[in-house]
Amino acid sequence: MIKARIIVRLKDTILDPQGKTIHHALKTLGYNEVESLRTGKFFEVSLNIDEEEKAKEVIDEICRKILANPVTEEYNFTLEKIKS
C-alpha cells in the first residue's frame, strides 16, 4: 500500500483573493512578520498498489484529471510506502 500526500495551489501568476484576505487578517491581528500568504488544498490518498512507479502514474493522472485545474493550479506530491 502507498500513501500519497498531494498539495494543489494556484499558479504564481493567478491572483489569490482568499490568501490576500487571510494575509490582511493576520496583519490586523499583529502578525506583521508575515510577508505574503497563498492558499491551497491538501489531499491524502491511500492506494492499494505496491509499485512506486505505478503509484506515481495513478496519482499524477488523478491530479491532472480531478484534483487540479491545469489552467490555474499546479500540484506536487510525495509517496510513502505503508506497511500492511
Ramachandran assignment for 17, one of left (phi > 0), alpha (psi -120 to 50 degrees), beta (any other): alpha
Confidence grade of residue 62 (pLDDT, cut at 50, 70, 90) = very high
Q: Is the pLDDT of residue 71 over 70?
A: yes
What average pLDDT is seen over the chain?
96
Kindly report, residue by residue over 24-33, the tens digit of the pLDDT. 999 999 999 9
> Is 76's pLDDT higher than 70?
yes
- Residue-level pLDDT at 64: 96
Residue 84 has pLDDT above 90, yes or no: no
Q: Where are the domains of the chain?
A: 2-81
The superfamily (CATH) of domain 2-81 is Phosphoribosylformylglycinamidine synthase subunit PurS (3.30.1280.10)
Per-residue HEC secondary structure of the chain comes to CEEEEEEEEECCCCCCHHHHHHHHHHHHCCCCCCCCCCCEEEEEEEECCCCHHHHHHHHHHHHHHHHCCCCCEEEEEEEEECCC
